[in-house]
């Protein structure tokens, strides 16, 4: 039995097509123009983007440290993907709706979700600590790809509300990874969005890896080109260029809100950290690759641009660093203060309306726990729970 392993994607097409990439800011911090993506930013706006990038990296850094110290069970780091997330996140309007994976901490930041709320899931005190309606930022979705269909359906709702093609038009944005593009759900969401011309932006962060599997295990063509087969435009953007991510996402969102249907954006970036804190990337990838991507750091290039254009002085950079440090310390403090859920919380919110079985189990468990309290009081603890765990 033989399999021709050499029949992968032709070298270069998947990982190195810089010609196809929309870039507005080079890794060296040089501004470049692109005919389809004019972008006017004030010095203030650029400084704000820089501040965002630095702060979210710091939050992420703190969360990784908290995990190492056993305060979080696990963490999915966004290191290296800050520009993709801040650029796209800052392109959103209040009325737009975000459908994230588990790694969109910087998009959450753009939507005003307090950083501490992201930690609950990873600490194991809840499954999600925020109200999606409050921030138009949906729950983190761990099951790969599932949220892309939710984004398509939500967008169909926007259409039915008549909120497309108007001044206050709305859109959804679905985040997912390169690995996710193999899932049936993601491909189905492409079909749905396309057939219904739904206002969805599919924002794929191609960070080159799905845990240990390189992009070649998912695709033989650059991911953005998949869109063509589904009947909508696909664009590859330099995912480490916050300007380009902002401009490209803005245009795609405008087009969706305007009734022009979906766009697939492939943000070409790199997962600088491990998949999660439990992963060991030395088992499957080379240090040299990481070194090459370090030169394309999303933050350094904005800093270089600000310095070159005399838009910021060292006092500004010091202030941002100090602010980021403070945010990090606040997150740490709040994390340590997160209350553990009580045992009876297990029964909360399983159903929106009363449910006999839940009530019954809840009562049984309360009685069971009370048995221990009685025993500790020195009273009779022998008759623990009556029917605990017994559905009779």
Partner 1 sequence: MTTETLTLAKALGAGLRKAMEDDPKVLIMGEDVGKLGGVFRVTDGLQKDFGESRVIDTPLAESGIVGTAVGLALRGYRPVCEIQFDGFVFPAVDQIISQLAKMHMRSLGAIQLPVVVRIPCGGGIGAVEHHSESPEVHFAHAAGLRVVACSNPADAYTMIQQSIRSADPVIFFEPKRRYWDKAPVEMDLAAAPPLHQAVVARPGDDVTVLAYGPMVKTCLEAAAADDERSLEVIDLRSINPLDIETIMASVRKTGRCVVAHEAPVFGGFGAELAARITERCFYHLEAPVLRVGGFSTPYPPSRVEEQYLPNLDRILDAVDRTFGW
Ligand X SMILES: Cc1ncc(C[n+]2csc(CCOP(=O)(O)OP(=O)(O)O)c2C)c(N)n1
Instruction: List residues with catalytic annotation.
Output: 271, 275, 284
Positions 324 through 383 that interact with partner 1 (CB under 8 A): 340-343, 345-347, 350, 357-358, 361, 365, 368
**From CA 323, how far away is CA 251, in angstroms rounded?**
31
CB neighbours of residue 60 within 10 Å: 26
Q: How far is the CB of 51 from partner 1 (least distance, A)?
A: 30
Strand order in 172-177's β-sheet? 21-22, 234-238, 263-268, 200-206, 172-177, 97-99
Tell me the three state secondary structure of residue 383. Answer: coil
103 binds, among partner 1, Mg ion, ligand X, none (CB under 5 to 8 A by kind): ligand X
Q: How far is the CB of 21 from Mg ion (least distance, A)?
A: 17
Complex with Mg ion: residue 177 or 273, whichever CB lies closer: 177
What mask of x and - would describe binding to ligand X in positions 263 to 302, judged by CB under 6 A? --------x---x---------------------------
**Interface with ligand X by CB under 6 A: which range of 10-18, 153-161, 206-214, 372-380?**
206-214
Q: How far is the CB of 80 from ligand X (least distance, A)?
A: 11
Distances (CA, A) of 158 to 113, 233, 247: 23, 21, 23
Taking the mean position of all CA atoms in its chain, how far away is CA 306? 27
* # residues near partner 1 by CB under 8 A: 54
Of residues 57, 58, 103, 251, which one binds ligand X by CB under 6 A?
A: 103
CB neighbours of residue 74 within 10 Å: 15
Instruction: Give residues with Cβ within 8 angstroms of 127, minimum separation 6.
Output: 121, 139
Of residues 17, 26, 159, 182, which one binds partner 1 by CB under 8 A?
A: 182
Complex with Mg ion: residue 177 or 281, whichever CB lies closer: 177
| Residue 235, beta-bridge partner list | 265
Of residues 80, 115, 177, 328, which one binds Mg ion by CB under 5 A?
A: 177
Q: Quick check: 211 binds ligand X (CB under 6 A)?
A: yes
Of residues 63, 180, 245, 272, which one binds ligand X by CB under 6 A?
A: 180
**Interface with partner 1 by CB under 8 A: which range of 136-144, 198-206, 233-241, 258-266?**
136-144
Q: How far is the CB of 364 from partner 1 (least distance, A)?
A: 9
CB neighbours of residue 181 within 10 Å: 24
Phi and psi at 228, nearest 5°, equal -55, -40
**From CA 338, how far away is CA 388, in angstroms rounded?**
30
**From CA 92, how far away is CA 360, in angstroms rounded?**
45
CB neighbours of residue 228 within 10 Å: 12
Q: Quick check: 207 binds partner 1 (CB under 8 A)?
A: no
Q: Quick check: 8 binds partner 1 (CB under 8 A)?
A: no
**From CA 363, how far away is CA 376, in angstroms rounded?**
20
CB 79 within 8 A of CB 52: no
Q: How far is the CB of 59 from ligand X (least distance, A)?
A: 17
What secondary structure, in 3-state letters, does 157-170 show? HHHHCCCCCCCCCC
Q: Where do the H-state alpha helices sit in 213-313? A: 226-230, 242-257, 287-294, 298-308
Complex with partner 1: residue 37 or 224, whichever CB lies closer: 224
Of residues 136, 183, 197, 277, which one binds partner 1 by CB under 8 A?
A: 183
Complex with Mg ion: residue 169 or 273, whichever CB lies closer: 273
Positions 60 through 119 that interact with partner 1 (CB under 8 A): 73-74, 102
CB 119 within 8 A of CB 67: no
**From CA 132, how far away is CA 28, in angstroms rounded?**
38
Q: Quick check: 217 binds partner 1 (CB under 8 A)?
A: yes
Q: Quick check: 316 binds partner 1 (CB under 8 A)?
A: no
Q: How far is the CB of 205 from partner 1 (least distance, A)?
A: 14
Residue found under tokens 């340590």: 336
Kindly state the helix (H) or strand (E) to which residue 56 belongs, with its residue range: helix 43-68
Residue ranges binding ligand X (CB under 6 A)? 103, 142-144, 177-180, 207, 209-211, 271, 275
Residue ranges binding Mg ion (CB under 5 A)? 177-178, 207, 210
Residue ranges binding partner 1 (CB under 8 A)? 1-3, 5, 73-74, 102, 120-127, 142-144, 179-180, 182-185, 210-213, 217-218, 278-279, 283-284, 340-343, 345-347, 350, 357-358, 361, 365, 368, 384-385, 388-392
């Amino acid at each position: 039995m033989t399999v021709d392993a050499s029949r992968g994607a032709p070298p270069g097409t998947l990982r190195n097509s810089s010609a196809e990439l929309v870039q507005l800011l080079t890794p060296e911090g040089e501004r470049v123009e692109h005919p389809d993506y004019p972008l006017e930013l004030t010095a203030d706006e650029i400084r704000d983007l820089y501040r965002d990038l630095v702060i979210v990296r710091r939050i992420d850094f703190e969360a990784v440290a908290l995990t190492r110290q056993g305060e979080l069970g696990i963490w999915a780091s966004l290191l290296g993907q800050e520009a993709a997330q801040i650029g796209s996140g800052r392109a959103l309007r209040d009325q737009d709706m975000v459908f994230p994976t588990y790694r969109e901490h910087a998009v959450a930041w753009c939507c005003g979700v307090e950083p501490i709320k992201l930690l609950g899931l990873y600490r194991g005190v809840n499954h999600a600590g925020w109200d999606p309606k409050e921030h138009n930022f949906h729950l983190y979705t761990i099951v790969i790809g599932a949220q892309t269909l939710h984004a398509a359906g939500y967008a169909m709702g926007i259409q039915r509300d008549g909120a497309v093609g108007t001044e206050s038009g709305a859109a959804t944005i679905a985040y997912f990874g390169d690995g996710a593009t193999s899932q049936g759900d993601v491909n189905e969401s492409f079909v749905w969005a396309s057939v219904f011309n739904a206002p969805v932006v599919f924002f794929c962060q191609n960070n080159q890896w799905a845990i240990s599997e390189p992009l070649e295990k998912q695709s033989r063509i650059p991911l953005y080109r998949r869109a063509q087969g589904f009947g909508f435009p696909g664009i590859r953007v330099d995912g480490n260029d916050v300007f380009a991510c902002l401009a490209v996402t803005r245009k795609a969102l405008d087009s969706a809100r305007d009734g022009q249907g979906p766009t697939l954006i492939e943000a070409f970036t790199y997962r600088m950290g491990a998949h999660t804190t439990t992963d060991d990337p030395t088992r499957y990838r080379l240090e040299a690759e990481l070194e090459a991507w370090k030169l394309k750091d999303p933050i350094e290039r904005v800093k270089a641009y600000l310095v070159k254009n005399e838009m910021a002085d060292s006092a500004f950079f010091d202030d941002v660093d100090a602010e980021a440090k403070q945010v990090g310390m606040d997150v740490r403090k709040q994390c340590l203060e997160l209350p553990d859920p009580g045992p009876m919380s297990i029964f909360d919110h399983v159903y929106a309306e009363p449910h006999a079985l839940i009530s019954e189990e809840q009562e049984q468990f309360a009685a069971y726990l009370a048995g221990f309290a009685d025993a500790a009081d020195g009273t009779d603890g022998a008759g623990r729970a009556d029917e605990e765990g017994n559905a009779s």
